[in-house]
Structure 1
Amino acid sequence: MTMRPGAAGFTMVELVVVMILIGVLAAIGIPRLMGDKNMEAAVFGDQVVSGLRRAQKIATGHRRVVCASVGPKAVIVRLNACGGAGLAVTGLGDGDYATTDSVLTVKTTTLFFQPDGRITTDAAGTTAVANGAIDITGNVNGQNTTFRTIRVEGTTGYVE
């Protein structure tokens, strides 16, 4: 096919394809560049839930009280007591359920998983957690945002 003189340029199909590609790249790339933390919050929320469920399974499986200390950036699981006084669970490090994200934080709380499956606020197991909620929040663009709420039901041991 021969071109007419002065007919150089792009066809309409080429222009539309380039515009579509730019739109797709902008839809994917701009939220990442602007600090969208939904994906990081979802992953960290899943880690917190997994840590709490694992603490419950260890408590019921070994018939021991397990303490889960939920801190600003991590869940630390210990046998019998929280902090350095508790025995570390074999095969479970303090960084297994943690985030390195500088924006995300978790409401600090301490939960005790009893051998019968209940979740309490004390090691003796006298006070069950009643409709507990653990919020994963972050300060994005000057606004405090709740990304995820984890529900904890003490009498049944349900963690969602």
Structure 2
Amino acid sequence: MNVFGFAGWSGSGKTTLVERLIPEFTARGLRVSVIKHAHHGFDLDKPGKDSWRHREAGATQVLMLSNDRWVLMHELRGAPEPTLEEQLHLLEPCDLVLIEGYKAAAVPKIEIHRPSHGKPPLWPENPHVVAVASDAELDCPLPRLPLNEPAVIAGFILDYLDAQ
């Protein structure tokens, strides 16, 4: 599986860009999966629902399924967070895995940088950033991609992966 990441400060537009890139890749016949790393807790379940009650009762895993989808929820219960490599092994084979977050992971990534947010760029300190997507002109030695043109960014990613 090809793996490509996106890094940037909170609110920079990582999720929006990934959301806009997925149709670009699927239109080219690629099967795409996404790993999103959250620095804060999250819950897909709702208090009071059967699956929530099972987890609250102490189940380590709860698998829910219907004729439309299935989801496996796994409670860490104090165990360490799985590594990115371990998470990649959980995915079914696909053509491309997009990683949102994991700034320090050793995968090629595009930094989403908006100078108007007042945050410093990540690329000077992160050797895994191979390009910067922005909505402004930047003084940067890396390729700069137009943040609002997902087709251009998708082309860059596929060209980059083909060259590796």
- Shared fold, TM over 0.5: no
**Higher RCO (C-alpha 8 Å, min separation 6):** 2
Normalising by the smaller structure, the TM-score range is: under 0.3
TM-score normalised by L of structure 1 = 0.24
TM-score normalised by L of structure 2 = 0.24
